[in-house]
Structure 1
């Protein structure tokens, strides 16, 4: 079902740069079904405009629905992106299991199958057009696994880190995951919302995640996950934002993941609440609309035009 809806009107539509804060381009949005090679349809929302700047693919954090990123996607298209796509990984949000689906859903499927399928759907809007990527938490980890990193001109990451429990600043994360979450995962098909993870995710995905989080090297320590070797093939420029008030994406956890992008140019910048007008940001706050005026403009400028970023403090990965 393609219900086109105009969400913002532009001014004169000129392809120039202004500092007024007003959108340069009008935007339409529609929900789309994204096919995958193994037949699991994904739910996506596509934002389109008349700009000529890159396509923007946004890949979410674990247990976070695509709706969180809709305002950022729209802002990117208003700034001149040709189109932006947000989508739900299989088994989450609007990407529900097809009737009769019996295959196991693994966390690595999100990176190996779903991200490439979403990129293909976005590419179909303007075949061969320059594409950039955005990934929050798992969505940034997925770049190194997906096998199509070369399709992205640039890739921006927010709160992307190794999930090893020992690197987090949350003393209860381990007990919650191992003593409560894992036993519950054998009782439910999907992890219940009341467990506090966020939106429901497949219990099989949760068990994968928990297994990796126990290991000092996260999923790089999983001998059955051969695709982690793809990390060394990534040469896409990366801008990685850390948040100083993120108890999960600590400097140690972020550095542990960024080191794996050994052949890619990585710029790591740390944003504090002071950079956000004194408001707390945390692990999932960056893409909330209240930060649209203070955190998003430089990020969008880097994504669409490779404009240097001064937001936050730069740290050597």
Structure 2
């Protein structure tokens, strides 16, 4: 796959609270994808320690990670966030488009994510390139066509979405979604109207149908067949998973199942309990909330440093 082409968006540079500049980019990705991205730079005069791509969770816009990206840039990282095609700012790049018109699958989202990593790698090939993958953002890298430029993956609140490995209280709701809401509402609306249902957000029809197939299959994204499983097994960059004990979606067995797909990658799981950090709750989405800047975010910094130190670029 060719490296992503990009162009600066109007009014690309602004100053954010930390003093680190952020620029808006547009990535052009395979199959006509147009992807809105934000590039956060360390403060002027500070060397770049790492380059980090934030892989968003299903239905979560890149603006959700803006505070975390700003903070991470202030620690000396060059950070790239993005919206998958058809989502949030990427949908806004198509002013006359509606979500029902977006022809996208999880394979396209994988391509968007991979293009973001290739763009950032091209800026400084000798600087370690790390991924912070939130949920889906830790699942898709195993399907990349190329991963030799990636030096590590920090998987946050990530695991298999197979319904039997959901938290027990979610399993009946998951079955209602996969056998009721998705097959009934997706043809009716031309996309999955998750926002009005309070379920994962609005998603392109191709994405939700493919994700449904994954979530009903014991091997989750391995449902894509032998080639997909071979891609996961070929990954060699190290993976550190931060598994949150009160995650209402991703259980420890689910995290273990996801890492089992990455059969050739060195990996480990760190369990994080809210009480150990004086917190009442973290949950599936909480890690990136600014209220955890002083408690959880330093754990992220430590883990990224350990990943960067473990190995050179994967081959």
Give your verdict on TM over 0.5.
Answer: yes
Distance 1:52 1:157, change over 3 A: same
- The residue aligned with 1:136 is 134
Give the one of 149, 152, 159 matched to 1:151.
Answer: 149
Counterpart CA distance in 1 for 2:182 and 2:13 is 40
Distance 1:289 1:183, change over 3 A: same
Whether the 8 Å CA contact 1:93–1:199 is kept in 2: the answer is no
Alignment of 1:184-263 (within 5 A): 184-192=185-193, 193-223=195-225, 226-263=227-264
Secondary structure in 1 matching 2:221: helix
- The residue aligned with 1:4 is 13
1:71 aligned onto 2:67: yes
Q: CA deviation at 1:103?
A: 7.1
Whether the 8 Å CA contact 2:30–2:112 is kept in 1: the answer is no
Q: CA deviation at 1:3?
A: 2.9
Q: CA deviation at 1:64?
A: 0.4
Secondary structure in 2 matching 1:259: helix
Counterpart CA distance in 1 for 2:32 and 2:183 is 28
Whether the 8 Å CA contact 2:128–2:308 is kept in 1: the answer is no
Alignment of 1:1-317 (within 5 A): 1-8=10-17, 26-49=19-42, 50-81=46-77, 83-96=78-91, 98=94, 104-111=103-110, 113-169=111-167, 170-171=170-171, 172-192=173-193, 193-223=195-225, 226-304=227-305, 306=307
Whether the 8 Å CA contact 1:188–1:203 is kept in 2: the answer is no
Counterpart CA distance in 2 for 1:236 and 1:140 is 12
Which stretch shows the higher mean deviation, 260-269 or 56-65? 260-269
Secondary structure in 2 matching 1:211: helix
Distance 1:275 1:179, change over 3 A: same
Structure with greater helix share of residues: 2
Counterpart CA distance in 2 for 1:307 and 1:230 is 22
Q: CA deviation at 1:305?
A: 5.4
Which stretch shows the higher mean deviation, 41-50 or 97-106? 97-106
Q: Which has the higher contact order (CA 8 A, sep 6+)?
A: 2
Counterpart CA distance in 2 for 1:158 and 1:243 is 8
